[in-house]
Each structure stands twice: as structure tokens, then as C-alpha cells.
Amino acid sequence: MLTKRIIACFDVDNGRVVKGISFVELRDAGDPVELAALYDHEGVDELVFLDITASAEDRNTVVDMVRRTADRVFIPFTVGGGIRTDDDMRLMLESGADKVSINTAAVQRPELISEGAHRFGSQCIVVAIDARTEPDGSMQVYTHGGRRETGMDAVAWAREVVERGAGEIMLTSMNTDGHQDGYDLPLTRAVSDAVSVPVIASGGAGSAQHMVEAITEGRADAVLAASIFHFGTHPIMDVKRRMQAAGIPIRMEHADYDDVL
């Protein structure tokens, strides 16, 4: 049976992990590659790097990070942030990323989705959607890191990105993000039921139970979290054991490279 994926996400600025991370066993807890290798070792299923580097000149630090990750980490990883053209996508994929995620650039120029899907295959084009449930109950798409309103309906946009060739949707709720109070279940379910491709729930993870709910009630195919893993309060295998106990199909076996090779 296909398992539900547990995805760890880091924000990276100028090649450094942004949010505070308190793993004692790391030589350099700010190095995204060290952290990626540790998460792989701890049994995470997939990784996402969101690059928030402001200046375009510093983008080569991202390429370096992607290359070093591909040297050490043998699980899938996605890179997002600052990708605006299909050549930007090519650079990330050739450097070793398995998928690229696009958000604002896809809203500004939706053809970018089909260009990427045509050139590299849908399986490596992830469209990230930041959405907010408004007081009137409508679900609206936001861009520019959640700062700019688009007036677009999240479900309609999700359908459109899939028609244009997105292979996966990473859905972040602006309402729940950062609160560790649970994912936005109605939003996740509305989007997941509307599209044929896998949906990653993001925003609001505070416990294994939240992840179970995102899958059972939100019908997500994967759950993404950052803070709860980074602070070490929720070890990945502990979260996985709890999810499995709740009846979710989970990849439980994971072996050390040195033991198996």
C-alpha cells in the first residue's frame, strides 16, 4: 500500500536555515545539508527547501546547497523560492533536486507550469498554493509569501494548475500556519477532493494527531511540517509510530546506509 509521506521543510536564507534549530548532535545546525542528512537518517520520507534569499546574486548558494544535498541524501527533495523561468527549473533539477516548487511566479504567469511540465515532466513540477479562508467562508489565493491578495479562488486555481501540468500541490493555509494548532482541514479537503494529483498539507502542524487528521479528514496525501521537527520535541519516528497506531499507512522501516551497504 502506498504510504502517506511525512515531509520536513526548511526555510533557507543565503544558504543558512532560518528558523531556530536545536539539534545537539549537529556540527552545524544552520547548514541545511547537515540537517537534511540528519532527517534522512531519522526516517523522514521527503524534504522541502524553501529559499527565501532576497537578492538574485546570492542564488548560487542555493545551487551549491542542492548539489551538496544530492551528494549525501538519497531520498526525494524539492526546492522552491525564486524560481521564475524554466531555465531556473533546469538549474535546480540538474543540480540534483527531484522537484521544483513555484508559487507567485505561477500566478503571475501560469504558462510557466505547462512549460516546466512539458520540458521536465509533470512529476517534478510542484505548485505551492498559499490560501486563506476569509470571514465570508471563501478560500482565496495569496502570493508574495502571503502578503498579496489575488482574488482567486483556491479550489479553482488548484484545478487550473493541474490542467496546466502540475504533478503535485503543496497547500499552505495562511490561517493556521505558524500556530501549531492543526492543519486547515476544510481547505485541505476541498482542494484534495478537487484534483487528481497528490496534495501536501502544510501549515499548523503541532502534533502527530494533527497529521492524522490532515490525512483522514483533510484527505491529504502527504503532510509537511517544520517547527515541530526542528525543535526536536517531536522525533520523526515517534510521530510516525503514532500515525501508524492511528491506522495511517506509514513507511516504518528505515535503515542506516552504513548498515545496509
Partner 1 sequence: MSDPTLADLDVIVLDYGAGNLRSVVRAVERVGARPEVASQPAALDEASVVILPGVGAAADTMHNLRSLGLVEPIREYIAADRPFLGVCMGLQALMTVSEEGGEHPCLDVIEGRVVRLPAGRKIPHMGWNRVEQRRQSPLFAGIPDGAHFYFVHSYYCDLADPANLAATTSYGVDVTAAVERGRLAATQFHPEKSGAYGLRIYRNFLSMHAELDGAAP
Task: Give how far Cα 181 sits from Cα of 110, 138, 189, 213, Å.
Answer: 32, 21, 17, 12
Buried/exposed 21-60: b ≥16 CB within 10 Å, e otherwise: beeeeeeebebbbbbbbbbbebbbbbbbbbbebeeeeebe
Task: Give how far Cα 101 sits from Cα of 26, 83, 235, 239, Å.
Answer: 27, 8, 26, 25
Q: Please say if 153 is a catalytic residue.
A: no
Among the listed residues 31, 51, 130, 177, the single catalytic one is 130
| 259 sits near partner 1 (criterion: CB under 8 A) | yes
| 251 sits near partner 1 (criterion: CB under 8 A) | yes
CB of 154 to partner 1, least distance (A): 18
CB of 106 to partner 1, least distance (A): 18
- Are 169 and 199 within 8 A, CB to CB? yes
- Are 52 and 32 within 8 A, CB to CB? no
Rank residues 130 and 221 by Cβ distance to partner 1 and give the closer one.
Answer: 221
Rank residues 107 and 112 by Cβ distance to partner 1 and give the closer one.
Answer: 112
DSSP 30: T
Q: Please say if 11 is a catalytic residue.
A: yes
Among 47-55, 102-110, 115-123, 153-161, which window interacts with partner 1 (CB under 8 A)?
A: 115-123
Among 25-33, 147-155, 177-185, 191-199, which window interacts with partner 1 (CB under 8 A)?
A: 191-199
Choose which of 24, 54, 56, 255 interacts with partner 1 (CB under 8 A): 255
| 133 sits near partner 1 (criterion: CB under 8 A) | no
| 132 sits near partner 1 (criterion: CB under 8 A) | no
DSSP 47: E
Where would I find the H helices in 138-254? 154-163, 185-194, 208-216, 227-230, 236-245
Residues at the interface with partner 1 (CB under 8 A): 1-5, 40, 45, 67, 70-71, 74-76, 93-96, 98, 120-124, 167-168, 196-198, 221-222, 251, 253-261
Catalytic residues: 11, 130
